């Protein structure tokens, strides 16, 4: 397990490169990523290719025992290209053009840009095809960053019509699938379909969902230009992309087959501020939320059910969140350990040195702008040494958490409550698993679920007979399944089935949904479960058991006494349906009962911010809080890093099982 860094030689005088690369090697780095934003440096004039500088940087890296990861430079087309082909630019729903001057200024469906991409990727791939120091490539950079997966330009309009024709065959099938009689939206031909541009009221939910699907697949289609050319040049290279945290519009599962390696970019203190409801706590401002970061690790591991990389690890203070606090002392080391525990094989810090120019001057590097070591460098150096001793097998998770962007999109199109948010709902159950020191793969429902003893399916909203059948067979074989609110409420066209929710899941659940409601804090939001009373939030259902046993009931409110949680024996397994969005106490109780039934090893419930994560017989104790924590481990456990007192923003590693850990109540 090693550490690396993202480097921009083009930002620095050539005479500085040798010392930079020496210092990277001294810190024990293995990989150096370069070139993602270098098109105007690679091709300063149309047709004038300058790659010798990049070849020199690659050689320096190779000469110091490290390997280069190069990037195709298409995230930032040069100004001469935009002036030559202004049609490559994207448009907003109201027709506003997303102009040149920042980044990601191109449309995935622009024929002209696809041609320019083929040209520049071919030139780079051929140039480095026989270079022994290039280990692999990252395609472009963070597809969709700055909300650029979706575009409403005329190229997208034409491509959407073609996509619909391929998907539905004839326009009557489209009318039937969407339900276009409503509000006089019947279509006579695919030519009548436009992108969902600016309207007075909300769009048709089925049309919007298909537009989100089309947009995500446009990025996948564009990415295939890169992967095909890179593999033609040298099929020994790995081809990767760097995805983002809690990101809605870019569907990693749709990319999975065409990438050898999934990587993502982890900025914990930023994510805690800009993509979670509610204010970040003081500790989260210093180290982030381990379950928010952990769920992304497990999503990008689950996307291909194999190890992943963190291609960009936060190195210190970052410029883009609302606030830019200095991370806690040791946080940069904590994050790298946490990533490896969750299955990362490599962690590269973004960036080597704070940049003196451009939009990211207020973004730290491992070195300061004068080249002197910054806080992150010392953490990275120490972590590289600690991890170098480890050669770990992949994570072997007992539990799967099902995640599907189509469900995210459909429930965000009709949230039915201002505080409905798919990631947050999902994370309520994920955090309950993690608080019990259970590893979970976050996987698409269509992935192979045969290896999991327990399956958690948060808001499994769009369900067809095929998915219901696959889950039935897993439960019949003995798996434990936990379904949550809004599961089975829609078909895959985002229409209500002609039976009550949970639709095709009804036999499995042994109950149907009699009523649903979204509930603000002014209303009664309590349920009884296993002799205790718990709170819930946002969304609730009144269940009508039909074979299942009601194990939880609404307390108070209009639904007083109605079933809220049901349990149903099905074949050799059981299905729990939790018909409320549980507060953490109820989520823990329901999850713990499922783990007991599934016989999945788990620890006592750990406090917020303290997590135990097992990989290949080793357990990481990670403390994302500012208070040291004392743990007790089995007598035969061997400490590799640290010991039983885990300091603030610290990580410790022992050889032993996570489930055997307990907090020392000394």
Catalytic residues: 142, 312
Structure tokens at 222: 């564009």
Q: Does residue 317 bind ligand GLA (CB under 6 A)?
A: no
Contact between 318 and ligand GLA (CB under 6 A)? yes
The residue within the footprint of ligand GLA, chosen from 350, 539, 620, 624 (CB under 6 A), is 350
CA 544 to chain centre: 35
Sheet-wide strand order for 650-655: 610-615, 618-623, 650-655, 638-641
Site string for ligand GLA, 133-172 (x = CB under 6 A): --------xx------------------------------
Q: Which stretch binds ligand GLA (CB under 6 A): 130-138, 191-199, 312-320, 365-373?
A: 312-320
Residue 646 token pair = 């885990």
In the bound state, the residue with its beta carbon closest to ligand GLA is 265
- Counting Cα atoms < 13 Å in the Cβ hemisphere of 252 gives 31
For the CB of residue 350, give the shortest distance to ligand GLA in the complex, in Å: 6
Q: Of 351 and 526, which has the nearer Cβ to ligand GLA?
A: 351
**Binding residues with ligand GLA: total (CB under 6 A):** 10
Supply 181's token pair. Answer: 């009689």
Count CB-CB contacts under 10 A for residue 166: 9
Q: CA angle 373-389-646, nearest 5°? A: 70
CA 49 to chain centre: 36
| Measured distance CA(138)–CA(41) in Å, rounded | 18
Could you give the CA distance from residue 528 to residue 555 in angstroms, rounded to a whole number? Answer: 6
Question: Smaller CB distance to ligand GLA: residue 240 or 400?
Answer: 240
DSSP 490: B
Considering only residues 3 through 62, tell me which ones interact with ligand GLA, judged by CB under 6 A: none
The residue among 248 and 491 lying less far from ligand GLA, judged by its C-beta, is 248
Choice between 267 and 352, CB closer to ligand GLA: 267
Cis peptide, bond prior to residue 502, ω within 30 of zero: yes
CA distance 459 to 454: 16
Q: Is the CB of 144 or the CB of 294 nearer to ligand GLA?
A: 144
Cα–Cα distance, 623 to 335 (Å, whole number): 10
Q: Is 363 in the site for ligand GLA (CB under 6 A)?
A: yes
Site for ligand GLA in 603-662 (CB under 6 A): none
Nearest-approach distance from CB 363 to ligand GLA, in angstroms = 5
Between CA 165 and CA 220 the distance in angstroms is: 18
Identify which of 250, 244, 264, 258 has the alpha carbon closest to the alpha carbon of residue 308: 264
For residues 88 to 107, the per-residue mask of contacts with ligand GLA, x marking binding by CB under 6 A and - elsewhere, is --------------------
Shortest Cβ 362–ligand GLA spacing (Å): 10
Residue nearer to ligand GLA on the CB measure, 361 or 645: 361
CA R_g for the chain: 25
Q: To the nearest whole angstrom, how small is the minimum distance from the Cβ of residue 431 to ligand GLA?
A: 24
Nearer to ligand GLA, 245 or 579 (CB): 245
| Token pair in block for residue 337 | 């350990």
Among the listed residues 330, 418, 335, 339, the one whose alpha carbon sits nearest the alpha carbon of residue 379: 330
Q: Which residue has the tokens 């999975």?
A: 256
Minimum CB distance to ligand GLA smaller for 265 or for 593:
265
* CA distances for 78 relative to 46, 90, 91, 99, 603, angstroms: 9, 15, 18, 12, 54
Min CB(665)–ligand GLA separation in Å: 40
Residues 423-482 interacting with ligand GLA (rule: CB under 6 A):
none
**CB nearer to ligand GLA: pick between 350 and 534:** 350
Q: Which CB, 146 or 197, lies closer to ligand GLA?
A: 146
Rounded Cα gap, residues 365 and 385, in angstroms: 19
- List, as one string, the DSSP characters of 342-381: TTEEEEEEE-SB--SSGGGTTS--SB-TTS-B-HHHHHHH
Nearer of residues 181 and 319 to ligand GLA, judged by Cβ: 319
- Shortest distance, position 562 Cβ to ligand GLA, whole Å: 46
Q: State the Cα–Cα distance between residues 239 and 231, nearest whole angstrom.
A: 8
**Does the footprint of ligand GLA cover residue 246 (CB under 6 A)?**
no
Minimum separation from the CB atom of position 319 to ligand GLA (A): 7
The nearest distance, CB 492 to ligand GLA, in angstroms, is 32
**Residue from 29, 106, 113, 267 that binds ligand GLA (CB under 6 A)?**
267
The continuous run of DSSP H or E covering 132 comes out as none
Site for ligand GLA in 366-425 (CB under 6 A): none
Q: Which of 20, 155, 289, 312 binds ligand GLA (CB under 6 A)?
A: 312
- Cβ atoms < 10 Å from Cβ of 276: 18
CA separation for the pair 62, 68 (Å, rounded): 7
The nearest distance, CB 264 to ligand GLA, in angstroms, is 9
Counted residue by residue, the chain has a size of 666
CB atoms closer than 10 angstroms to residue 465:
11
Given 251, 265, 406, 541, the residue binding ligand GLA (CB under 6 A): 265
Note whether 143 and 137 are within 8 A (CB): no
Minimal distance in Å, beta carbon 360 to ligand GLA?
6
Provide the angle, in degrees to the nearest 10, between the axes of the packed helices 154-168 and 205-233: 100
Site string for ligand GLA, 565-604 (x = CB under 6 A): ----------------------------------------
- Distance of closest approach, residue 327 Cβ to ligand GLA, in angstroms: 13
Q: Which parts of this chain interact with ligand GLA (CB under 6 A)?
A: 141-142, 265, 267, 312, 318, 320, 350, 360, 363
């Amino acid at each position: 397990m090693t550490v690396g860094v993202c480097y921009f030689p083009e930002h620095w005088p050539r005479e500085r490169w040798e010392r930079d690369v020496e210092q990277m090697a001294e810190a024990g780095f293995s990989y150096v990523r370069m070139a993602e934003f270098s098109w105007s440096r690679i091709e300063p004039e149309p047709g004038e290719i300058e790659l010798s500088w990049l070849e020199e940087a690659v050689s320096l890296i190779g000469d110091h025992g490290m390997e280069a990861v190069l990037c195709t430079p298409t995230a930032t087309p040069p100004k001469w290209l935009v002036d030559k082909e202004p049609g490559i630019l994207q448009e907003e729903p109201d027709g506003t053009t997303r102009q040149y001057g920042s980044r990601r200024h191109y449309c995935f469906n622009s024929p002209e840009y696809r041609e320019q991409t083929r040209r520049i990727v071919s030139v780079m791939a051929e140039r480095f095809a026989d270079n022994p120091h290039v280990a692999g490539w990252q395609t472009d950079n963070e597809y969709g960053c700055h909300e650029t997966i979706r575009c409403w330009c005329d190229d997208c309009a034409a491509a959407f019509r073609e996509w619909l024709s391929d998907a539905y065959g004839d326009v009557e099938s489209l009318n039937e699938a969407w339900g276009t009689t409503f509000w006089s939206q019947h279509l006579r031909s695919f030519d009548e379909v436009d992108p969902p541009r600016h309207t007075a009221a909300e769009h048709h939910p089925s049309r919007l969902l298909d537009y989100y699907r089309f947009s995500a697949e446009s990025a996948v289609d564009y990415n295939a230009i890169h992967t095909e050319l890179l593999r033609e040049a040298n099929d020994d290279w790995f081809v990767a992309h760097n995805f983002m945290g809690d990101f809605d519009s870019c569907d990693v599962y749709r990319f999975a087959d065409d990438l050898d390696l999934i990587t993502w970019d982890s900025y914990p203190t930023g994510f805690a501020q800009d993509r979670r409801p509610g204010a970040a706590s003081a500790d989260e401002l210093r180290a982030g939320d381990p379950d928010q970061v952990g769920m992304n690790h497990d999503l990008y591991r689950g996307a291909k059910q194999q190890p992943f990389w963190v291609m960009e690890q936060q190195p210190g203070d970052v410029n883009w969140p609302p606030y830019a606090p200095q991370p806690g002392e040791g946080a940069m080391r904590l994050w790298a350990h946490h990533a490896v525990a969750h299955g990362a094989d490599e962690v590269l810090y973004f960036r080597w040195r704070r940049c003196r120019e451009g939009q990211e001057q207020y973004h730290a590097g491992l070195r300061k702008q004068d080249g002197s070591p910054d806080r992150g460098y010392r953490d990275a150096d120490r972590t590289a040494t600690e991890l170098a001793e480890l050669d770990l097998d992949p994570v072997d998770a007992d539990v799967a958490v099902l995640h599907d962007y189509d469900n995210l999109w459909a429930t965000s199109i009709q949230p039915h409550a201002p505080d409905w948010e798919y990631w947050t709902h999902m994370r309520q159950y994920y955090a309950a698993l993690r608080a019990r020191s259970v590893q979970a793969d976050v996987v698409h429902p269509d992935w192979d679920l045969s290896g999991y003893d327990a399956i958690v399916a948060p808001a499994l909203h769009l369900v067809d007979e095929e998915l219901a059948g696959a889950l039935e067979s897993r439960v019949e074989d003995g798996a434990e399944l936990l379904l949550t609110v809004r599961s089975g409420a829609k078909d895959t066209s985002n229409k209500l089935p002609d039976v009550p929710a949970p639709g095709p899941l009804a036999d499995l659940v042994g109950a149907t949904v009699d009523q649903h409601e979204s509930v603000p804090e002014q209303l009664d939001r309590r349920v009884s479960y296993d002799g205790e009373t718990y709170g819930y939030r946002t969304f609730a259902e009144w269940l009508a058991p039909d074979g299942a046993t009601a194990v939880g009931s609404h307390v108070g409110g209009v639904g007083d006494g109605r079933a809220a949680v049901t349990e149903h024996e099905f074949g050799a397994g059981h299905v729990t349906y939790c018909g409320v969005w549980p507060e953490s106490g109820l989520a823990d109780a329901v999850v713990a009962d499922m783990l007991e039934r599934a016989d999945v090893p788990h620890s006592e419930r750990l406090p917020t911010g303290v997590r135990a994560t097992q990989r290949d017989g080793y357990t990481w104790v990670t403390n994302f809080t500012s208070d040291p924590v004392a743990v007790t481990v089995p007598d035969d456990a061997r400490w590799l890093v640290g010991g039983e007192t885990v300091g603030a923003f610290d990580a410790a590693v022992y050889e032993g099982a996570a489930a055997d850990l307990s907090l020392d109540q000394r």
